[in-house]
């Protein structure tokens, strides 16, 4: 009689046995045999190593379980194997190989222990070897989320849930550390009363008044703890089981569900990205733009707090595909936003009037037609003001490391060692939907106006046509939304700096240098054959570069020309330039960035198995993003070297270098 049932598969093939042996499968009794991790596996890519380790761990690694007397912390995982004396060293070598493989996944090990087990009937002494893995949160999260368990559903479920629980704990601890440090500073440095501090710091569910009180009046000898304020692991596991059963899946919040208009063949699946892919009579618009903000801070002041700063920006500013923020507007209010642009944001407390003076078109282009915007676009835009978006959109904390034009840099308030902040974002889902709606309109217009194009993405209509005018009205709405969005993003950035440095944004000198669009079509006057003419100037992948004394420039910049902002990739420099009189040759336009040399798909393939964030951190650049794929597709090698690009622009005379910045920290969608 048997208490358990075992199901096995027997393959009576000599060839299969030989193949397994050649690949490194132990033959015979594993306790007696000498074997190590095969050399080919040590050289294999990470995804193959992960499959091997997950299969091994499903059989041999201990489960994700918490301490019996403290159900908030986990036991150190243990990988065990038995060996007789003659094969003991090969067992140690095997576990050492496993330890080195784990390091590649960011998992540390503590030790290899050994103890005597028993003497069998043949008089052979058996030893138990144990590889003890680290029980630190960071190591456990990497172990359970990057490797996990295969073939053992119970262990897989517990490991996935444990990874979610540990991330949850880390979030709570980070909040507590921030509050524990900030509370005394607000009391001692700012002179805030206790009630005001409570009100300011109790935004989080897991920060109570008692914790703030202890942080104020009882000097902390140890770091804050998360237990008692949060569910223990058993309760967390129970809630996961109730929601998803024993599926091995864990809870994640859905950020957005979006209908995608797609007419071509679908072979597997497609993901919508707001690429700049709509052309109408030679203009393409997704309404992105970039703004640069100065500060009075120096590298010496910011460097020790860069992690707090980047963590704060990442947590305070929603980023990623479909991200939504706390700035919500109804339909009527959204119509006002589409007409007023950045002024709408400033009128509601998201900035100051000086910001409007330093924004192209004063933050709102005339001629916006809210009636030309679809209900679907309104729906997508009502929760995305003050959100970063995805792809190459970013907020970057930079330090000025080289000055080329002292006169201009003095006017901008920048010097070597100054800290600046660059914001790159656009009109989010609303702008994308405008493009999507009108691309179909333009496709229908091709036959109407007898226009032939080699690709449907080149669909267009005459500017003065009914379709062209409707699109211009909707595009201007999207451009105004983008200016409002960047204004809100700057407001959230200023608030984060205030929290980290315990000073007001005015005291920190956080003034806007300039905001300029780089995907927009505008009706402008230009001289053609000695005659002034109205032209529809389309700047796609380009930005405006008016020279000195241009009537549309703020008074403070008329002597030097319009600020021109050219960001690089997240691993190299960005530049501030000024427009020139010679830029009339390019309709007062210059490039808006360094330009890609690899497609996003090619960049992801090139970066497979690498940690881009770790590579950048080794260069002194801290990066936080909503997903690993974003970092791969935006890796520095996917772009041209911006230093070379700006050199060409400068030598061509269409823009003049003022200063160069290098990144200290970046957040990306």
Instruction: For residues 169 and 158, give the distance between their C-alpha atoms in angstroms, rounded to a whole number.
Output: 16
Residue 403 near residue 416, CB atoms below 8 Å: yes
Report helix, strand or coil for 432.
helix
- The two beta strands, 78-84 and 109-119, are unpaired
CA torsion, points 516, 519, 523, 528, in degrees to nearest 10?
90
- The two beta strands, 418-425 and 512-517, are unpaired
Instruction: For residues 466 and 280, give the distance between their C-alpha atoms in angstroms, rounded to a whole number.
Output: 12
Beta bridge partners of 114: 129
Task: State yes or no: is 70 an active-site residue.
Answer: no
Cα–Cα distances (Å) from 623 to 347, 423, 471, 545, in that order, read 33, 15, 37, 30
Q: Which two tokens stand for residue 97?
A: 């190989």
Residue 43 near residue 100, CB atoms below 8 Å: no
Task: Determine the length of the chain.
Answer: 669
Beta bridge partners of 576: 565, 659
Beta bridge partners of 397: 421, 665
Q: Which residue in the block uniquely carries the two structure tokens 């501090």?
A: 197
Instruction: For residues 589 and 587, give the distance between their C-alpha atoms in angstroms, rounded to a whole number.
Output: 5
| 344 CB burial (10 A radius; 0-12, 13-18, 19+) | buried
Residue 632 near residue 553, CB atoms below 8 Å: no
- The two beta strands, 418-425 and 394-403, are antiparallel
Which of the 8 DSSP states describes residue 69?
Answer: T
Catalytic residue among 32, 518, 592, 650: 592
Instruction: For residues 446 and 441, give the distance between their C-alpha atoms in angstroms, rounded to a whole number.
Output: 9
Beta bridge partners of 419: 399
CA torsion, points 56, 57, 59, 62, in degrees to nearest 10?
150
Residue 6, φ and ψ in degrees, nearest 5? -120, 135
Instruction: For residues 667 and 311, give the distance between their C-alpha atoms in angstroms, rounded to a whole number.
Output: 9
Measure the CA angle with vertex 79, ends 78 and 83; round to 5°: 130
Residue 493 near residue 421, CB atoms below 8 Å: yes
Work out the angle between the directed axes of helices 46-60 and 88-104 (0-180°, nearest 10): 130
Q: Which two tokens stand for residue 463?
A: 């500017």
| Residues classed as catalytic | 592
């Amino acid at each position: 009689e048997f208490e358990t049932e075992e199901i096995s598969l027997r393959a009576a093939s000599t060839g299969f046995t030989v193949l397994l042996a050649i690949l490194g499968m132990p033959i015979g009794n594993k306790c007696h045999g000498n074997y190590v991790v095969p050399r080919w596996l040590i050289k294999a890519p990470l995804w193959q190593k992960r499959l091997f380790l997950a299969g091994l761990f499903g059989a041999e690694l201990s489960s994700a379980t918490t301490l019996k007397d403290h159900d908030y912390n986990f036991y150190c995982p243990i990988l065990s194997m038995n060996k007789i004396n003659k094969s003991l060293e090969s067992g140690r070598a095997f576990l050492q190989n496993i330890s080195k493989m784990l390091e590649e996944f960011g998992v540390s090990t503590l030790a290899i222990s050994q103890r005597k087990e028993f003497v069998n009937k043949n008089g052979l002494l058996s030893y138990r070897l144990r590889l003890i893995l680290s029980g630190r949160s960071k190591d456990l999260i990497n172990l359970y989320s990057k490797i996990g368990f295969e073939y053992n559903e119970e262990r897989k479920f517990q490991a996935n849930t444990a990874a979610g629980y540990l991330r949850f704990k880390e979030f709570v601890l980070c909040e507590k550390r921030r509050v524990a440090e900030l509370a005394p500073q607000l009391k001692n440095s700012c002179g805030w009363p206790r009630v005001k501090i409570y009100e300011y710091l109790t935004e989080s569910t897991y920060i109570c008044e008692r914790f703030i009180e202890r942080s104020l009046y009882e000097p902390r000898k140890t770091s804050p703890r998360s237990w008692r304020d949060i569910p223990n692991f058993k309760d967390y596991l129970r809630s996961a089981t109730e929601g998803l059963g024993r599926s091995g899946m864990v809870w994640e919040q859905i950020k957005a569900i979006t209908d995608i208009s797609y007419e071509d063949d679908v072979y597997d699946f497609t993901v919508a990205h707001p690429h700049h892919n709509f052309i109408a009579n030679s203009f393409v618009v997704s309404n992105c733009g970039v703004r640069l903000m100065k500060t009075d801070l120096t590298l010496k002041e910011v460097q020790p707090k860069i992690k707090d700063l980047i963590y704060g920006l990442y947590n305070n500013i929603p980023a990623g595909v479909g991200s939504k923020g706390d700035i919500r507007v109804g339909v009527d209010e959204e119509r006002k936003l589409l007409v007023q642009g950045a002024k709408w944001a400033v009128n509601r407390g998201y900035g100051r009037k000086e910001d409007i003076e330093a924004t192209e078109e004063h933050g709102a282009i005339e001629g916006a037609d809210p009636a030309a915007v679809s209900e679907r676009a309104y729906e997508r835009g009502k929760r995305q003001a003050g959100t970063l978006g995805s792809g190459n959109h970013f907020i970057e904390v930079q330090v000025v490391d080289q000055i080329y034009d002292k006169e201009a840099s003095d006017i901008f308030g920048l010097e070597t060692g100054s800290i600046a902040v660059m914001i790159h974002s656009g009109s989010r889902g609303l702008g994308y939907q405008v493009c999507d709606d009108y691309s179909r309109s333009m496709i229908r217009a091709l036959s109407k106006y007898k226009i032939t194009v080699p690709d449907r993405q080149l669909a267009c209509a005459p500017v003065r046509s009914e379709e062209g005018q409707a699109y211009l009205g909707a595009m201007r709405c999207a451009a105004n939304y983008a200016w409002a969005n960047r204004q809100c993003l700057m407001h959230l950035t200023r608030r984060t700096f205030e929290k980290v440095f315990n000073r007001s944004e005015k005291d920190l000198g956080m003034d806007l240098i300039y905001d300029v669009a780089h995907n927009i079509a505008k009706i402008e006057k230009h001289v053609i054959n000695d005659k002034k003419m109205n032209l529809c100037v389309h700047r796609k992948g380009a930005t405006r570069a008016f020279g000195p004394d241009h009537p549309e420039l703020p008074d403070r910049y008329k002597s030097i020309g319009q600020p021109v902002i050219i960001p690089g990739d997240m691993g190299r420099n960005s530049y501030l330039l000024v427009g020139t009189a010679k830029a009339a040759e390019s309709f007062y336009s210059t490039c808006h960035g360094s330009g890609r040399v690899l497609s996003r798909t090619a960049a992801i393939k090139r970066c497979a198995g690498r940690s881009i964030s770790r590579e950048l951190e080794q260069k002194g650049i801290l990066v936080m993003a909503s997903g690993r794929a974003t970092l791969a597709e935006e890796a520095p090698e996917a772009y041209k070297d911006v230093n070379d690009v700006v050199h060409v622009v400068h030598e061509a005379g269409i823009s003049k270098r003022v200063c160069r910045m290098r990144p200290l920290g970046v957040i990306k969608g």
